Amino acid sequence: MWNENLQNFLLKTLFVGLTLYGTWLFDKYAMKFINLWTKKKAEHEAIDQTVVSFAKIIFKVLLWLLVALFVLQNLGLQITALLGGLGIAGLAIAFAFQKILEDVFSFFLIYFDKPFRVGDYIMVGVDAGTVKSIGMRMTSLTTPGGQELLISNRELTNSRIQNFKKMKKRRVIFSFGLSYDTSIAKLETSKLIVRETFASLAAEKVQLDRVHLKELAASALVFEVAYDVLSREYAEFMDLQEKINLNLLKAFAKEKISLAYPTQTIKLQKSS
């Protein structure tokens, strides 16, 4: 009897040892494969090391958990009750960390769908900024004013995102008004000024689409201008817009064409 018990103990010990050693070898070479695959993929595109590290942790936890259950079952232990307890505990943990898990899951959606990358200029609702980092729970933006804006990944996946980095051009539509005492000749000159202004910027990344006398408004003759800026960079877009506005103001001043501003005329009638 004693020899039989010793033999069973040695066999179980050998089984556990070989299983753990085999699992360790599998884990070791799996990590080498992941590192090699990551290094090769990084030659063609940016790889987020946070995701790689997190994937390694998940892989290790699942691997050793499955091996532990396999070993316990083969040692004769009843794991049904254990699995039931783990299931209940898992549900409790998932409920307690529901928001955090949603943010982590949203992180993977962002990582694989790639609606934006680090360095992209995006707008989420009324907030906008350059993506500084994409974390497991929060994404950090740097606003045009220099502030750091943190947005939960869950909020990002549930919002409409405008990614200006993917734009090939920006459309600008603006209006300006001239006073009603402007002559027809001056009106025609104004339209010519707009066209010549854009023609002078032919070397820049800007293209005029149209310019029209759009409306006879209450206090002004309103022109509407539409043009495209062939750049996705916000700073360059603002520089070109500023140059166009300044050139128009200079040309109008040179031709003595006055821009309109809201006015109101009140007529007083003397009672008899």
Report which DSSP code applies to 257: P
**Residues 204, 206, 208, 213: is their CA dihedral positive or negative?**
negative
Across 2-16, 149-163, 203-217, which has the greatest mean pLDDT?
203-217
- Of the pLDDT bands very low, low, confident and very high (cuts 50, 70, 90), residue 155 is confident
Among residues of the chain, what percentage have pLDDT more than 70?
A: 78
**170 secondary structure, DSSP code:** E
User: Would you say the pTM of this structure is higher than 0.85?
Assistant: no
Which of these ranges, 93-97, 140-144, 169-173, 266-270, has the smallest mean pLDDT? 93-97
CA angle 151, 60, 133 (to 5 degrees): 20
Question: Is the model's pLDDT at 191 over the cut of 70?
Answer: yes
CA distance 134 to 117: 8
Q: List C-alpha distances in Å: 69 to 73, 86, 208.
A: 6, 12, 70
What mean pLDDT value characterizes the chain? 79
Give the C-alpha separation, 226 to 147, whole Å.
Answer: 32
**What is the rounded distance in angstroms from the CA atom of residue 133 to the CA atom of residue 47?**
13
Locate tokens 């600008």: which residue? 172
- Backbone angles phi and psi of 116, in degrees to 5: -160, 165
Higher pLDDT, 54 or 124: 124
Tokens of 103: 């943010």
Q: What is the pLDDT of residue 83?
A: 55
Exposed e or buried b per residue across 191-224, where buried means at least 16 C-beta atoms within 10 angstroms of its C-beta = eebbeebbeebeebebebeebeeeeeeeebbbbe
**Looking at residues 176-185, what average pLDDT do you find?**
91
> Using one digit for the tens of pLDDT, what is the confidence trace for 23-72?
888 888 888 887 787 777 666 665 566 666 767 777 777 777 777 777 77
Query: 188 pLDDT band (50/70/90 cuts)?
Result: very high
Position 59 scores a pLDDT of 75
Residue written as token pair 């497991």: 136
pLDDT digits (tens, 9 = 90+) for 205-239: 899 999 999 999 888 999 999 999 888 777 888 89
Give the pLDDT confidence of 83-96 residue by residue, as tens digits: 555 555 555 555 55
Which pair of structure tokens corresponds to residue 178? 């001239």
Instruction: Report the pLDDT value the prediction gives residue 69, as an integer from 0 to 100.
Output: 74
Mean pLDDT, residues 154-177:
84
Predicted confidence at residue 212, as pLDDT, reads 94
